[in-house]
Amino acid sequence: MPEPTHQSGGARSVPHLAARAEDAFHAFRERWGRRRGLVPRVIPFAGYGSAGWIRVLARVVLAKPGRPSGDRVQGARGWRSFTAIPLTHGDVTVVAGGVEHALTADRGGVVDARLSVDLPPGWNTIRIAAEGEEPIEAEVFVIDPAARFGIVSDVDDTVMVTALPRPFLAAWNTFVLNEHARRPVPGMPVLYERLTRQHPGTPVIYLSTGAWNVAPTLTRFLGRNLYPRGALLLTDWGPTHDRWFRSGQAHKRGSLRRLAEELPNVRWLLVGDDGQHDEELYAEFAREHPESVAAIAIRQLTPGEAVLAGGRSTAEERGTAAQWRYAPDGAGLSEQLGELGLLRR
């Protein structure tokens, strides 16, 4: 019998008008897609876990028969992922550790479930199958219970130069350009590689307010620019059960708190930039969970990037619960983290 699963769900009240409208639109697109012969496909995302459990992340969409799962076609434009039809409440089967688990996607087609399973530390392969389709492989990083150090990294303007708040440039980056046209922040891949090499078994979590739709493109970007493999924690665009738009800050805040609860022995290096809300969110988390913070590294935007990002953060109360370090690039942060003993010279 499948193990009981934990999946987040909304309140049982009547959904918001916008949510009901979105659900109706998805239902129409699903009926239209099935009439065209589209079939369920799973887009797997890297998950994480520890002793006795894993967190499985994926998205279920409708696609043409025979099309590669996971949008793995090299050079695929970002806009293609936004035209995919999500399979609302689609059923999937996960096989992990020799045990089969039955899961159901949420209203946006996203699977986010915690499963009780014992897997060895390090990268593991599980199999996920949509209804009536062949299973595909997904990766899960199981954190050694002895691990005491991890990295949580923002994405936009921290590992990848995006200047997202500028509307036209954001649309161009998201819907038109592919990962080959995006630029890594100077020195950041080297910094992360040094950290993971000097701290074996380090979990890496890429935490962003970006939509799950861009996960395949983001994964290719990270791999192409030699960033260490890690789990992506993204969100879903559009209305929620009870509000018009999702809150990116709430997504990051909730994700950090969940990591502290799930992995209480890990002290995280929190990496972000000074262009939006990273300083404010990290300071709040450090005050609430000082035992879970090793240090906070903030990449300082250039004057031009700060203008495109809508200005710099106005956070003033950082508190003294964590060591804060600032630099404009990975090389500067590497030097300062060396002063804290997190990197050897």
Domains parsed from the chain with CATH numbers: 8-142 (2.60.40.10), 149-339 (3.40.50.1000)
Of the two residues 186 and 210, the one the predictor is more confident about is 186
- Maximal CA-CA distance, the chain: 62
d(CA 173, CA 314): 26
Q: Decide if 309 contacts 163 (C-beta within 8 A).
A: yes
* 272-316 pLDDT per residue, tens: 998 778 999 999 999 999 999 999 999 998 756 654 555 445 555
* C-alpha R_g of the chain: 20
pLDDT at 263 over 70: yes
State the pTM of this model. Answer: 0.84
Between residues 61 and 2, which one has the greater pLDDT?
61
- Using alpha carbons only, what angle is made at residue 21 by residues 20 and 26, rounded to the nearest 5 degrees? 95
DSSP structure string for 164-180: TTSHHHHHHHHHT--GG
pLDDT score of 71: 44
Residue 125 has φ and ψ, to the nearest 5°, of -110, 130
87-112 pLDDT, tens digit each: 888 999 999 999 999 999 998 899 99
What pLDDT score was predicted for residue 272?
96
Q: What is the pLDDT of residue 311?
A: 47
* pLDDT band for position 267 (cuts 50, 70, 90): very high
> Which one-letter amino acid corresponds to residue 148?
R
DSSP state of 97: T
Helix (H) or strand (E) holding 304: helix 303-308
Q: Of all residues in the chain, what percent are helix, strand and coil, respectively (each to 5)?
A: 30, 30, 40
Amino acid sitting at position 340: L
Residues 132-158: what's their mean pLDDT? 95
Q: What is the mean pLDDT of the chain?
A: 81
CB 273 within 8 A of CB 299: yes
Decide: 237 and 7 in contact? Cβ < 8 Å. no
What pLDDT, on a 0 to 100 scale, did the predictor assign at position 2?
39
CA nearest to 60, candidates 109, 133, 11, 132 = 109
